[in-house]
A = this chain, B = another copy of it.
Amino acid sequence: MSDKLFERVALIGIGLIGSSLARVIRRDMPETRIIACARRAETLDTVRRLNLADETTDDPAAAADGADLVVLATPLSAYREVAMRVAPSLRQGAIVTDVGSVKEQVVKDIKPLIPEGVHFVPGHPVAGTEHSGPESGFPELFHDRWCILTPTPDTAPEAVEKVTRLWQGAGMRVTQMAADHHDKVLAVTSHLPHLIAYTIVGTATDLADDLKSEVIAFSAGGFRDFTRIAASDPIMWRDIFLANREAVLEIVQRFTEDLTALQRAIRWGEADTLEARFTKTRSIRRSIIEAKQA
């Protein structure tokens, strides 16, 4: 990453994504000042202990004051309040970007709050683990993953370019698409898988205690992979499902229809239907391996 892409970066929210970005900036742009903002004193203690920022504050307005880049990295439900609080302290020419997993709602909520002369570049680095908090971040989190930016037609190209360089410097491949299209794609690749994983682990949680302890012991048969996904941050995911409600409900509906069809094939012993379906799904795995996303 070129030195001094930004002079002063305010990270509003410093969990897995925010702290990983802080580590990248520390590594590649040592002259850039980082201001970390979080609500909880405990989080800010951790940030100081790990030396992830030059300044820490619980006040978004103070964090954004004088920054040339403000990154919203809180759960989605905090965005509106944060945007309202930072708006008055944003300097002319500053760039506001975000890392949220839903984009249409974000653009709708946040764009009207951004003052004239400030650039808003909605973004989504598609990377993560099941761990949360500033201690879970690491600079390689973004490596070889995609970052999707969803600028509107009136977003200044030079602001998009600077945010692109930021994420490219973190090792990401950066692409652009319309916000509503992003939300449809992510509903399939990320939101549905998480909802399903939360559901199946929930179903197991409700089992009688003796069966449950055996489910834990014998989880290697497939179940444990779901528990990893279902260990992701509850607040963040609550907000994602609510913010991307329509696209999620649409894809859940399709999923349910497909599950019902397989259920029926099992009930009626339709071996050929099952085999044909299970054979077809193999090819997607091959495509993912070819796309180097496995």
Interface positions of A (Cβ within 8 A of B)? 77, 101, 126-128, 130, 145-146, 148, 184-186, 188-190, 192-207, 211, 214-232, 234-235, 237-238, 241-242, 245, 248-249, 251-252, 254-256, 258-260, 262-263, 266-267, 269, 271, 274-275, 277-288, 291, 293-294
Contact = CB atoms under 8 A, between A and B. Distances in A.
A88 B17 CA distance: 64
Give this chain's copy count: 2
Given A197-B222, A256-B259, A284 B205 contact: yes
A202 to B, nearest CB: 5
B211 A278 contact: no
A250 to B, nearest CB: 11
Given A146-B218, A278-B238, A281-B230, A293 B224 contact: yes
A219 B293 contact: yes
Contact of A217 (B200, B219, B291): B291
Contacts of A215: 185, 188-189
Contact of A275 (B202, B224, B234, B274): B234
B234 A189 contact: no
